[in-house]
Each structure stands twice: as C-alpha cells, then as structure tokens.
Structure 1
Amino acid sequence: MSLADREFDGLLVLPHVRVQNANAISSPLTHGFPSMTAFLGFMWALNRKLKAADIPLQLEKIGVICHWHQEQVQEGYVRTFHLTRNPVAKDGSTAAIVEEGRIHLELTLVFQIRAIMQEGEVHLLFCGDESLRRKAAWMIRELVGSMRIAGGTVLPPRPGPGVRVTPALMGWPDQEMDQRTLFRRLRRQWLPGFTLVGRDDLMQRRLEQLRLQDPEVTVLDAWLDLSRFNYRSGRDKKDRVIWTHDRPEGSGWIVPIPVGYAALSDLYAGGQVANARDQTTPFRFVEGVYSIGQWIGPHRLRRVQDLLWWGEHHEDGLYRCCSGYESPSADGDDESPSYPPVSAETL
C-alpha cells in the first residue's frame, strides 16, 4: 500500500516555528520559498533523530503553513538578492560573489505520524495518556531546535497575543465526524497563513486548452503560461489603449514549483562515480522536475490530507514529491476558474 492510501495514527503539529536565513532559491528556475524537497529532507532527518532518541514515532508526510516571510531581496521591477561581501583573496583581489538567496520564515509544520509497534501493541502515546504525549511533543520540538530547515537556523519560539507555540501530538479519531471536528479546530489555529498544495490538474487542463489552438504545444509551454500573467493591449469604447491579462479573477495564488528529480543516467553502485558525496551510497545523475502549486488558506481545505506531502520513488528513476490535495472539481463542485483560450503564437 502506498503512502497516499495508508491509514495513520495521529498528527504532530509544531506551530509558529521561526526559521532564519532559509534557502529562498528552490531551483535554477524558481525562488521565493524553499522547495518541498527541502521539507521532506528535513522530515527524514528528524525521523533519524527520533530513532536515536528512542521516540517510537514514524513521520510519513509533512504539511507546511506559512504565516510570515521576508525574502532578503532588493524590491523593484527586477529583484536582486542581498548578498554578503566575502573576504578578499590571498593576492588581495576581490573574491567572487556566490549568489545566495535567503528568506526568514514563520511556519507551522504538520506531520502525519504512525506509531511504531512495541511488543505487538500500540505505544502508550496513543492510549489516552495526555501527559506522555505532551512530553514527547516538547522533546521533538527541542530536537527541531537543533536542526536546520531548508538550510536555515531554527530560532526559539516567540509567544505573542493569539500565537500558539505549544507543540501538539494527537491521535487521529476513528469516526469521520470526530475527524471533521478536530480538523476544523486545527484550521482555525493555523490562521492567518497559507499552505502550499500541488495543482498538477491545472497544468494538465491548461495543456489541453492550448493544444486546441496548436497541437505542437508542449508541457513546458503550459507550465510557463501558468507561471506568468499574459498581458495584451486593446482599446476601450473611447479608443484609449488598455492592457488586460488572461489570468481569471479568483484564479488563486498559482506558482511554479520544483517537485523532485528525474534520472538522467543508470544507477551506479557506490564507489563507481568519482567525487561523489560518499563511496557507499548508489549514485545517479538527475535533473529537476517542475509542476504547478497553489497557496491556499487552511480554512479552504476540506480534509487534513489536502495539505500533506510525501515522497515517492518509481522504478523508471523518478523521485517525486506528491501532494494529497484534491480539487473540489473531483466532486463536481469546481471552484477552479477556467482560463480563456490563448493562441500559441503568444507563448
């Protein structure tokens, strides 16, 4: 059974985690927020920390709610990163500047968790012992404080009016009505904020629309089209020049995102490739995989799976971050606006 369909035991919520100088360059083509691959890597690193601390929990999926961000850039039509001045070289010449994008964040991290069976029984963490769950949650929060998230430093929590900083470890109810009640309470606690979800369906829909105009349109064309506002000039009733774009009203906060890697070579055994990170782990060359994401307010989510991400590995060499978000259109209630047809000549 894949992670997409597996039942889980509970949730771990780490509210208002402050991160300083995280990596804002998520890929060679995108910037503005760390990639979901960075958060999945953080989750796997935290899993190793939990095992070393003898905490019987397995983190399976992660959701990210962003409450505040401050990208270190010079504002303007063209944005430039705030870069550090490195010391001069040995001969006194100016050292080369390596462009580094940084961003300060305040995040709520939500993990889908599964209890590790001990002696054939579920651990006491999910048997009604609230004090034990509270202690474990704070232990995990302290472990997170010693780690890095997307290359950024985790700062101590900063309590404030209406800001929850207490971590929570909770079991997931069996009854659907209880699940909905709990999720409604959690959604209110995550406001104000936005969560990033995957919208592969929008790109597929846009690709089909563009191919009605030009059968030669590629997936890259659809991705670029959704990543921008396509402005065109026209004239109003008074013969004045006006500019309009094809992004429908209410289309949401749609962004291009990296979602993983695709293999460019066969899988080499450890030690076959020179200058690899280590000589024991298998190695292969890869390239980035891109898709479309959308920032959505937590109050618009219908179920907890909508905000969660997990990693999948396919035998053909695809390493991909998968989103559990399901568009309302899947139930016949389509809230996603349709883009108007556009001639491929404008791509």
Structure 2
Amino acid sequence: MSDFFFAVRNIRASRVNLIMNDYAAGLPSPLSFLGLADLLARKLGLIPWCAGVLPVLHHVHVSEGRTKPEMENKTGMFTPIETMEDMIGTVDVSLLLHLPGCDSDSDVKQQLQHCRIAGGLIQDPSPTVDAVPADGSAFRMLRRGYAMVRPEPTGHRRITMGDPEGLAQTAQTLFPAERAPGSGWHVPSAVGYRLLEDPATAPKRQRTRSSTVPHVFAEPVLGIAELVSVRNARLTGLATTGLHELLWRWHAQGDLVLGHSDYHPERSPIDMTKELISHG
C-alpha cells in the first residue's frame, strides 16, 4: 500500500444533494466523498473499493428557490435531465485522498475534471491537487474547516437501521448535556447500507449502471459522525497509522457495507474487503 496522500483543495460543487438517507439531512454524506474516491480509483485503473478519503467542510449553503427539475427537449419530448431533490446546496470542501497505487498528483487532477459530488458538479475545471505527507501535518496545509470523521469516544459509533430504540439512542448521543473539552460537533450521518439480498444470488436486472457490479436492494444505515477542526491536535498530531485509520474506506462484513470498519457492531479482525473486490 502506497503512502502517497493527495490534498484536493478548495473544491466548490453546486446542486449537491444534502439528503444523506431517510434519517439524516443538511450536510453532504461522507459516503458521497467515498464514492468520488472510488470513482477516481477506477478511472486511474487502480483496485476498486480500496480508496480512502477524508472530507474537510469549509462551507455548506442550502439552496432556496426552484424545486422542479430542469427539462430538455429530447426527440420531440421534454424530459427531466436532473434528479429533483428536496434539499440541495453549494458545498466548499477540501479532500485528503489515499489512492493505493497512484503517486501522481497530475493524474488525480486530470481525472477530477467533470466529476460530481452527490450529484453536484465540481465548478472549478482545474482544482488544486498536491501530494502531502501521510500524517497530521497534512492538515496544516488546508484552510480552516471541519473534517468529517468517525466520532470519539468509540461508544458513539453505534448504528441503527431505523428502529425506534436505536434512533432514540442516537438522538441522546447527539445532544449531550455537556460537550467534553476538545470534542467536535456530533452530527447524524449516513454510514453505510444493510443488504437485503445476497449479491451472489441476486437476479440480474436491466438498465443497471454496471455490467459487472450486481444490483441489490439495501436499506440505509444511520450512524454518527464528528466534525473536528483541522487545527485540533487530534488531527494535526496524527502519525501515519492514525491518519490511515481516520479515512473513510469501504468495509463489507456479513450483510453490512459500511464507510468505516469501526461502525460494525461485531467488528472482526478478518478483513472482508475482498467481498467487495470480488464484485468489481
């Protein structure tokens, strides 16, 4: 695994979907940035599902106004050319990327062109991409913002699929009587999916996005993320191993596909990432 990290700085994306899943809205989902990282890995010819990403939010502005999708005349009929969402916005963000097997910032910069974040087009056609150290000093090169990370303490990393008891526990964690010194802001977050079908036996469906990745039905998983200032010593003091562990990275185990292994309720020492790789 290469230790090349890339800082993609000061991205602005418009019309970003701010609905994470059925239970969380108002911020872009960390899974959306993980999807962008995996797309870059595929475009660069790297191993799928192994990319890591850490978003640093600088500004999120919720849009107000038009709620109908834009229409276009196609073959004599007007059809929508975008998905109508109930909550979209403009997002200013920087990214720390880990793309195992890639050591070229110019290649990353080229592949970022015309990419989207949660459906929102990246506005700058030529974003700034630099190779950075694989430790906490990488944060000192970013302007002020809040990294979206898994929460501390570890007890806050519980997940729920929407059962009333789980939602109540999540709400109590989000709104404590007091905030611990040095803690960030805890926010509800989409952290993965629970598969309702087995990818190995799911029927092949028409009009899917990929001919190699099976389409399966799933339900959303709600968890908690933490927004931590990039000037916080929890980030700037990280060693290489700590920074790797902080990244969002796909993890499959059993019927759960999560954006970080720490959210799994029965975390196993057996790495199940191979389950993802075997399906494209």
Q: Same fold (TM over 0.5)?
A: yes
Q: Which residue of 2 aligns with 1:322?
A: 260
In structure 2, relative to structure 1, the CA distance for the partners of 1:277 and 1:50 (3 Å cut) is: closer
Q: Give the counterpart letter for 2:67 in structure 1.
A: L
Report the CA distance between 1:12 and its aligned residue.
1.2
Q: Give the counterpart letter for 1:167 in structure 2.
A: V
Q: Which residue of 2 aligns with 1:313?
A: 252
Report the CA distance between 1:15 and its aligned residue.
0.8
Q: Which has the higher contact order (CA 8 A, sep 6+)?
A: 2
Report the CA distance between 1:297 and its aligned residue.
0.5
In structure 2, relative to structure 1, the CA distance for the partners of 1:195 and 1:82 (3 Å cut) is: farther
Q: Give the counterpart letter for 1:62 in structure 2.
A: V
In structure 2, the gaps of 5 or more residues are 72-82, 159-163, 264-280
In structure 2, relative to structure 1, the CA distance for the partners of 1:279 and 1:43 (3 Å cut) is: closer
Q: Give the counterpart letter for 1:309 in structure 2.
A: W
Check if 1:248 corresponds to 2:232: no
| Aligned counterparts of 1:60 and 1:279: Cα–Cα separation in 2 | 21
Secondary structure at the aligned position of 2:68 is classed as coil
Identity over aligned pairs, percent: 23
Contact 1:266 1:284 in 2 (8 A): yes
Report the CA distance between 1:291 and its aligned residue.
0.9
TM score, norm. by length of structure 2: 0.71
RMSD: 3.5
Q: Which residue of 2 aligns with 1:236?
A: none
Report the CA distance between 1:62 and its aligned residue.
0.6
| Aligned counterparts of 1:17 and 1:108: Cα–Cα separation in 2 | 6
Secondary structure at the aligned position of 1:167 is classed as strand
| Aligned counterparts of 1:107 and 1:99: Cα–Cα separation in 2 | 21
Secondary structure at the aligned position of 1:258 is classed as strand
Contact 2:17 2:85 in 1 (8 A): no
Check if 1:83 corresponds to 2:67: yes
In structure 2, relative to structure 1, the CA distance for the partners of 1:307 and 1:190 (3 Å cut) is: farther
Q: 1:142 aligns with which of 87, 110, 121?
A: 110
Report the CA distance between 1:57 and its aligned residue.
11
Report the CA distance between 1:264 and its aligned residue.
2.1
Q: Which residue of 1 aligns with 2:41?
A: 47
Report the CA distance between 1:271 and its aligned residue.
4.4
Q: Which residue of 2 aligns with 1:193?
A: 145
Report the CA distance between 1:320 and its aligned residue.
0.5
Contact 2:14 2:120 in 1 (8 A): yes
Contact 1:59 1:111 in 2 (8 A): no
Report the CA distance between 1:102 and its aligned residue.
1.1
Equivalent pairs, count: 238
Contact 2:113 2:125 in 1 (8 A): no
Contact 2:193 2:257 in 1 (8 A): yes
Q: Give the counterpart letter for 1:105 in structure 2.
A: V
Secondary structure at the aligned position of 2:258 is classed as strand
Q: Which residue of 1 aligns with 2:86?
A: 100
| Aligned counterparts of 1:218 and 1:169: Cα–Cα separation in 2 | 44
Q: Which residue of 2 aligns with 1:334?
A: none
Q: Deviation per CA, 1:305-347, whole angstroms, max 9, x where unpaired?
A: 3641100111x2110010779xxxxxxxxxxxxxxxxxxxxxx
TM score, norm. by length of structure 1: 0.59
| Aligned counterparts of 1:40 and 1:305: Cα–Cα separation in 2 | 14
Secondary structure at the aligned position of 2:44 is classed as helix
Q: Deviation per CA, 1:36-67, whole angstroms, max 9, x where unpaired?
A: 2211111111112212xxx9999621111111
Q: Give the counterpart letter for 1:149 in structure 2.
A: I
In structure 2, relative to structure 1, the CA distance for the partners of 1:157 and 1:107 (3 Å cut) is: farther
In structure 2, relative to structure 1, the CA distance for the partners of 1:99 and 1:114 (3 Å cut) is: closer
| Aligned counterparts of 2:37 and 2:256: Cα–Cα separation in 1 | 20
Contact 2:41 2:99 in 1 (8 A): no
| Aligned counterparts of 1:324 and 1:15: Cα–Cα separation in 2 | 27
Q: Which residue of 2 aligns with 1:38?
A: 32
| Aligned counterparts of 2:53 and 2:168: Cα–Cα separation in 1 | 30
In structure 1, the gaps of 5 or more residues are 1-6, 74-80, 88-96, 117-124, 126-135, 159-164, 173-178, 206-216, 230-245, 326-347
Contact 1:264 1:284 in 2 (8 A): yes
| Aligned counterparts of 2:210 and 2:165: Cα–Cα separation in 1 | 38
